[in-house]
């Protein structure tokens, strides 16, 4: 059996801890420069060093994203940046720019070189040339199908690894090479500043009728003509394993620690089941629907993008990988707290969002199935009994015989 890796996003320290607690094999994160998610908090060098030490103490590798396209005014700062990252103990650097790749080899030779999806690798010859340049891994373009992954795997050296995205937001442009954001807002997608104009609704204005706006319809069903569905491959990891994928990557460095925890927990359980030749339990498949998401798709793995079942429902507002009804998220559960400890029959937790004792609550421990939670009493930080938790970040105490690890998530079903 080829080595497999579950790779999780870590936009900040809280997300990193969630990824570690819930079972990733590696994390990918960015420094304050040269990463493709300027909106995430990211890590300064001191924070990066702490992150690496924490991850390594849990047996987890750290991949540093260096996948922006630097300008002349920035490029001279990169050698010092990547050398410092190597000193922090980072395991790999992810890059797409040839100049950046050459400087990683020159200034941080201990790091594995991973080729970013922004490079747009779709065939084995490109992968072979990158291998000659020192690449240990290629993160394939999201447009590559299963048959092509198998062919790439067959044609590249055995010690070269293949990484693919298996969950999260998708881009309407080829491998994220988009100019719309910069054209409309001045925020460059290829520099980590995408304003996501593909999620906007558009109107048409005829030149001789100024200020008269008409909706832009793909057909009679909707106007979000650039809006992509989210990817979800949790039902199909066995096909990816069979095709020769090494690393299974979850998108989301700009997303919350709650999102990271739920996706990592679900994909950890699913991947472990597939590796044992079993299908995941139903609760595992259900978990991805409890995460805030757009309608799901299997991306390009099976040819033209379809919905998550591999088929299209003509009655839904979709066209395969596109979703025209709106750009909003589907969400039926909310993150309301995190467990700090369980001692002497008392569960201590920190509130994150509003909830009441009347809500339908669940605990989600790391590496485990959700537990229905029906507390009878709850006490605020002042020791007074309460029925409603309404103050964010308040410390709460709930009598309970249930014992779960620290950092266990408490969530409620939304009404």
Q: What is the band of 189 on the pLDDT scale with cuts at 50, 70, 90?
A: low
How is residue 362 written in tokens? 């669940």
Read off the pLDDT of each residue in 105-117 and give the average, rounded to a whole number.
97
Residues whose CB falls within 8 Å of the CB of residue 10, separated by 6 or more in sequence, listed in order:
16, 19, 27, 28, 29, 51, 253, 260
Read off the pLDDT of each residue in 400-415 and give the average, rounded to a whole number.
95
Q: What is the band of 115 on the pLDDT scale with cuts at 50, 70, 90?
A: very high
pLDDT score recorded for residue 3: 82
205 pLDDT more than 50: yes
pLDDT score recorded for residue 69: 83
State pLDDT tens for residues 139-179: 999 889 999 999 999 999 999 999 999 999 877 665 666 66
Are 336 and 389 in contact by the 8 Å Cβ rule? The answer is yes
CB-neighbour burial class of residue 229 (10 A; exposed 0-12, middle 13-18, buried 19+): buried
State pLDDT tens for residues 51-90: 999 999 999 999 999 988 888 988 999 999 999 999 999 9
d(CA 10, CA 413): 26
Pick from 155, 103, 99: nearest CA to 129: 155
pLDDT score recorded for residue 154: 98
Q: What is the band of 112 on the pLDDT scale with cuts at 50, 70, 90?
A: very high
State pLDDT tens for residues 235-251: 999 999 999 999 999 99
């Amino acid at each position: 059996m080829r080595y497999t890796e579950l790779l999780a996003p870590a936009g900040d320290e809280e997300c990193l801890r969630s990824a570690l607690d819930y079972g990733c094999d590696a994390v990918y994160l960015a420094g304050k420069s040269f990463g493709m998610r300027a909106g995430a908090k990211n890590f300064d060098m001191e924070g990066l060093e702490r992150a690496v030490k924490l991850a390594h103490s849990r047996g987890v590798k750290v991949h540093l994203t260096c996948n922006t396209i630097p300008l002349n005014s920035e490029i001279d700062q990169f050698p010092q940046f990547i050398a410092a990252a190597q000193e922090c103990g980072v395991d790999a650097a992810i890059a797409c720019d040839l100049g950046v790749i050459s400087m990683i080899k020159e200034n941080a030779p201990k790091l594995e070189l991973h080729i970013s999806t922004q490079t747009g690798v779709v065939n084995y010859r490109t992968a072979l040339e990158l291998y000659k340049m020192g690449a240990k891994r290629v993160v394939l373009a999201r447009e590559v199908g299963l048959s092509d992954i198998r062919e790439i795997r067959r044609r590249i050296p055995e010690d070269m690894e293949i990484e693919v995205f298996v969950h999260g937001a998708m881009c309407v442009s080829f491998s994220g090479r988009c100019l719309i954001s910069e054209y409309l807002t001045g925020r460059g997608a290829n520099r980590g500043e995408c304003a996501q104009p593909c999620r906007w609704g558009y109107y048409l204005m005829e030149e001789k009728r100024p200020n008269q706006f008409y909706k832009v319809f793909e057909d009679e069903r909707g106007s979000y003509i650039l809006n992509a569905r989210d990817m979800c491959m949790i039902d199909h990891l066995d096909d990816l394993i069979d095709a020769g994928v090494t690393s299974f990557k979850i998108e989301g460095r700009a997303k919350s620690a709650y999102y990271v925890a739920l996706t990592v927990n679900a994909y950890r359980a699913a991947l472990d089941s597939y590796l044992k030749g079993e299908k995941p339990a139903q609760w595992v498949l259900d978990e991805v629907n409890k995460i805030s998401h757009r309608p799901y798709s299997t991306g390009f793995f099976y040819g033209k993008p379809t919905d998550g079942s591999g088929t299209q429902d003509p009655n839904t507002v979709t066209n395969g990988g596109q979703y025209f009804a709106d750009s909003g998220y589907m969400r039926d559960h909310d993150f309301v707290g995190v467990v700090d400890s369980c001692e002497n029959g008392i569960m201590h937790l920190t509130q994150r969002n509003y909830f009441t004792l009347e809500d339908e609550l669940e605990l989600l421990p790391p590496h485990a199935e959700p537990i229905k939670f029906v507390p009878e009493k709850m006490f605020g930080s002042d020791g007074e009994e309460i029925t409603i938790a309404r103050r964010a970040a308040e410390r709460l105490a709930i009598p309970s015989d249930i014992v779960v690890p620290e950092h266990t998530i408490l969530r409620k079903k939304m009404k």
